[in-house]
Amino acid sequence: MSTPERLIESTRELLWERGYVGTSPKAIQQRAGAGQGSMYHHFSGKPDLALAAIRRTAEELRAAAEERFAAPGTAVERVTAYLRREREVLKGCPIGRLTQDPDVMADPVLRAPVDETFAWLRARIADVLAEGRDRGELDAGLDPADTASTVVAVLQGGYVLARAAGSEEPFRRAVDGVLGLLAAHTTTGHRAD
């Protein structure tokens, strides 16, 4: 890995483990095995590195999601595959967790990729659901945009409930519940799984 890559990866790990305020430039340099001069050669400082780290995490999240949305199958099958994909439930969502980092939320530049990621997810799921409705898989009464926000909220809230319980069980139930609700809107009335 190149030095800028190592610096970005170290910043991602530290942001995850310690949050923005707990991530010092020195700790980033030490973990990356890079000197101070090298860090400031590639990045203007901690905010610049944090932005690169958050963007990288957001890109990975989008790519993993898009893999399910672009797969063949009905709208409900694709949303089901997205909701059921393997996740480290008790660790939580690396993007969702940033909404609880006061320093990230207070900085419009650092908040932007967090906001954009959720806006993209909601819009992309709305597209998938609208496609399903247009194809006659889902009934005309379903609101794609509202339902997409519900799907994303179920995941993010499922992580909160799992952490509170110290168990993946409430996350799984919340996902099963929204898929059960969605099943009543399919023209066949069957669950996708």
Footprint of a second copy on this chain (CB under 8 A)? Answer: 95-100, 105, 111, 114-115, 117-119, 122, 139, 141-143, 145-161, 163-166, 170-171, 173-174, 176-178, 180-185
Find the largest Cα–Cα distance for the chain: 63
Nearer to a second copy, 10 or 147 (CB): 147
Q: How many angstroms separate the CA atoms of 7 and 175, rounded?
A: 36
Nearer to a second copy, 10 or 117 (CB): 117
Task: State in angstroms the smallest separation of the CB of 83 from a second copy.
Answer: 11
* Residue 72 token pair: 């063949």
Contact 78, 128 (CB under 8 A): yes
Nearer to a second copy, 9 or 168 (CB): 168
Task: State in angstroms the smallest separation of the CB of 141 from a second copy.
Answer: 7
Q: How many helices (H) and strands (E) does the chain have?
A: 9, 0
Contact 28, 83 (CB under 8 A): no
Nearer to a second copy, 48 or 176 (CB): 176
Task: State in angstroms the smallest separation of the CB of 41 from a second copy.
Answer: 32
Q: How many angstroms separate the CA atoms of 7 and 30, rounded?
A: 9
